[in-house]
Amino acid sequence: MQGFVGALQGARASKGIIFTASAFSGEAQEYARSVSPRVVLVDGEPLAELMIDHNVGVTDRETYAVKRVDSDYFGDET
C-alpha cells in the first residue's frame, strides 16, 4: 500500500482505490485513514455489492415477472 500511495503522490492524484475480494487488515485500514492522498479500501461484501449493482462479473440466475392488473380488461362492456 505504501508503494501505491507513493505512485499516487507521483501522479499528483487526490485519491486512489484499492479493491480486494478478501479483507484488509486493521493496520492497512489505519494506514489508509492516515495518509494523503486519500486511499479508499473496498473489500469483500461491499465489492460484491458494487459488482451486482453495476453488472460487472455477474450473470442473472433467475428473473421474476412483476404483474399488474389490467383495469381495462375488467372495465364496463357496452
Residues 1 and 30 sit within 8 Å (Cβ to Cβ) = no
* Planar angle of CA 7, 38, 21, nearest 5 degrees: 80
Average pLDDT over residues 24-53: 95
Q: Residue for cell digits 383495469? A: 71
Quick: pLDDT tens for 5-20: 999 999 999 999 999 9
Work out the pLDDT band at 78, boundaries 50, 70, 90.
Answer: low
Distances (CA, A) of 46 to 23, 49, 59, 63, 66: 10, 5, 18, 23, 28
Work out the pLDDT band at 34, boundaries 50, 70, 90.
Answer: very high
* Planar angle of CA 53, 32, 2, nearest 5 degrees: 115
